[in-house]
Amino acid sequence: MMSAKPFQIDTLVTAASRLINVMNREVELLRAMRVKEISDMQGEKLELTALYEEALAMLASEPELLAALEPVLKEELALLANRFDAAVVANTLALSAVKDSHDRLLQTIVDSVAENRSKQKAYTADGALDNPRGGRNAPTLSLTLDQSL
C-alpha cells in the first residue's frame, strides 16, 4: 500500500498539470479563432481527463492517504486544485463564447437568406415580374452540393 501512495499523488499532479496546460492552450487557440487546431488536442485531453479522474477516484477511496500527506504537499495540491478549477472555468467560458458566436453567425445567414428570398421576384410566362408568393412562380434556391467522398 505504501508504494501506491506516491504513484497516486504523482499521477494526479502530473495529469492535472498537463490537463491545465492543454485547457489553457485550447483557450489561446479559441481566442485566436484557430478552432481547427483544437481537434489535434482532443485525444490528449480525453486521455488526461481519464487519467485524472482515475487518480482522483483512487485517492478519494483512500482518504487516509490524503490525511497522511505532509502539510507542504497538501498546500501544493490545494493550489493545483485552484489552478485546475480556474482553467476549467476559462475553458468552459471560451468554448461557450465560440459556440454562441457560431450560432449567431449561422442565424444571421439563415435570416439573410430568408429575407432575400422574400424579396425575389419571378417572371411570368409573358416575361413580366410576378409576386413570388403568388403560387407557381415561387423563387427557387440554387445550391451546389459536393458529391465527392
Q: For the chain, give the percent of residues with pLDDT over 90.
A: 36
- Dihedral angle of Cα 53, 94, 98, 104, to the nearest 10 degrees: 120
pLDDT for 105 equals 85
What confidence score (pLDDT) does residue 5 get? 57
Domain assignment present for residue 85? The answer is yes
In a domain, 144, yes or no: no
The predicted pLDDT at position 69 comes to 86
pTM (predicted TM-score): 0.68
Residue 63 lies in a domain: yes
Query: What pLDDT is stored for residue 58 in this prediction?
Result: 87
Instruction: Give the range of the structural domain holding residue 37, as residue numbers without chain letter.
Output: 4-99
Look at residue 3 and tell me whether its pLDDT is greater than 50. no
16, burial (CB in 10 Å: exposed 0-12, middle 13-18, buried 19+): buried
Percent of the chain past pLDDT 70, that is, above it, reads 74
Domain count, the chain: 1
Q: Could you tell me which residue, 44 or 118, shows the higher pLDDT? A: 44
Does residue 27 lie in a domain region? yes
pLDDT in tens, 70-94: 899 899 999 999 999 999 999 999 9
The reply to whether 24 falls in a domain is yes
Residue 66 lies in a domain: yes
In a domain, 34, yes or no: yes
Q: How far apart are CA 39 and CA 59, in angstroms?
A: 31
In a domain, 112, yes or no: no
pLDDT of residue 35: 82
For residue 1, pLDDT over 60 is answered with: no
